[in-house]
């Protein structure tokens, strides 16, 4: 499988899982376009990617800015959405609904808005790969909002796969992954002890799933779980 001569747009592609996906796609011959809200993060990412890569700072919750971004782009083959922010656990008894709304703004509505703006630019044979999470299948205390976002994205993937056909729409469902969104090392240590694989995920582990789904021309409406066995224990 190869992405040779294909164009891949990765929203959230300047750090963590998104940047690892950009590197892997580029290694398979793709031209990658990355975007995230932090200009410095974009610059750092482009310093590590091939010269063919490009990127820009983009507020993914700004509908007009996202629409303008895709209007400027030439047609491309794959859209990947990995954008996120540090997760905040919200307990129901002390729920701040403003925080709950804000959590959905990027991870759900940001993804939906990006797909809406991008669809007309995706070339035949292309795909969309979104991001959900294992919390949707096995949440813990304080995870009601995060788990709800994951469940909403799971349903969105299946609905879009039908509505946007023949564009393929899939998602990756990571467990705990060592990225800047999880800066507390103690989380990794505690989690690793309970996982069947004995460790938490690394960005490269998860990136392989995004690239697989871009290459896999017979998969649509599919959610690939890469969680180290989290849902089993």
Its domain, for residue 100, covers 7-232
Q: Which residue in this structure is represented by tokens 């592609």?
A: 13
Question: What pLDDT, in 10s, does the model give residues 34-49?
Answer: 999 999 999 999 999 9
Q: What is the pLDDT of residue 229?
A: 95
What are residue 192's phi and psi, to 5 degrees? Answer: -55, -35
Q: Is residue 107 part of a domain?
A: yes
Question: What pLDDT, in 10s, does the model give residues 55-110?
Answer: 999 999 999 999 999 999 999 999 999 999 877 788 898 888 999 899 899 999 99
Q: Is residue 27 part of a domain?
A: yes
Q: Is residue 2 part of a domain?
A: no
Q: Is residue 215 part of a domain?
A: yes
Q: What is the pLDDT of residue 176?
A: 92
Q: Is residue 166 part of a domain?
A: yes
DSSP string, 13-66: TTSHHHHHHHHHHHHTT-EEEEEES-HHHHHHHHHHS-TT-EEEE--TT-HHHH
d(CA 59, CA 106): 9
Could you tell me what percent of the chain has a pLDDT over 70?
A: 99
The whole-chain average pLDDT of the chain stands at 95
What sign does the CA torsion over 61, 65, 179, 108 have?
Answer: positive
Q: What is the pLDDT of residue 183?
A: 67
Q: Is residue 105 part of a domain?
A: yes
Residue 192: pLDDT band (50, 70, 90) is: very high
How many structural domains is the chain composed of?
Answer: 1
Question: What pLDDT, in 10s, does the model give residues 11-27?
Answer: 999 999 999 999 999 99
| CATH at 34 | 3.40.50.720
Enter the tokens of residue 221: 């409406």
Could you tell me what percent of the chain has a pLDDT over 90?
A: 82
The mean per-residue pLDDT over the stretch 175-179 comes to 92
Q: Is residue 1 part of a domain?
A: no
Pick the range with the lowest mean pLDDT from 131-145, 150-164, 179-193, 210-224. Answer: 179-193
Contacts of 219 (CB under 8 A, 6+ apart): 168, 170, 213
Give the max Cα distance, the chain: 52
User: What 8-state DSSP symbol labels residue 119?
Assistant: G
Q: Is residue 170 part of a domain?
A: yes
Q: What is the pLDDT of residue 157?
A: 98
């Amino acid at each position: 499988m190869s992405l040779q001569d294909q164009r891949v747009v990765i929203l959230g592609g300047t750090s963590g899982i998104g940047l690892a996906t950009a590197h892997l796609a580029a290694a398979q011959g793709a031209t990658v376009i990355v975007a995230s809200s932090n200009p410095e993060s974009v610059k750092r990412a482009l310093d590590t990617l091939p010269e063919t890569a490009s990127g820009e700072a983009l507020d993914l919750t700004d509908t007009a800015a996202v629409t303008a971004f895709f209007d400027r782009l030439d047609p491309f083959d794959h859209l990947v959405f990995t954008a996120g922010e540090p997760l905040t656990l919200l307990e129901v008894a002390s729920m701040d609904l403003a925080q709950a709304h804000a959590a959905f703004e990027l991870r759900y509505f940001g993804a939906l808005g990006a797909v809406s703006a991008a669809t007309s630019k995706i070339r035949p044979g292309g795909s969309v790969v979104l991001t959900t999470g294992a919390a949707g299948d096995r949440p813990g205390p304080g995870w009601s909002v995060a788990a709800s976002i994951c469940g909403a994205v799971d349903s969105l993937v299946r609905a879009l796969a039908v509505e946007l056909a023949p564009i393929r729409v899939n998602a990756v469902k990571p467990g705990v992954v060592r990225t800047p969104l999880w800066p507390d090392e103690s989380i990794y240590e505690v989690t690793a002890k309970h996982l069947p694989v004995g460790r938490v995920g690394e960005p490269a582990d998860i990136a392989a799933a995004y690239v697989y789904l871009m290459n896999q021309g017979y998969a649509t409406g599919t959610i690939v779980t890469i969680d180290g066995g989290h849902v089993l224990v």
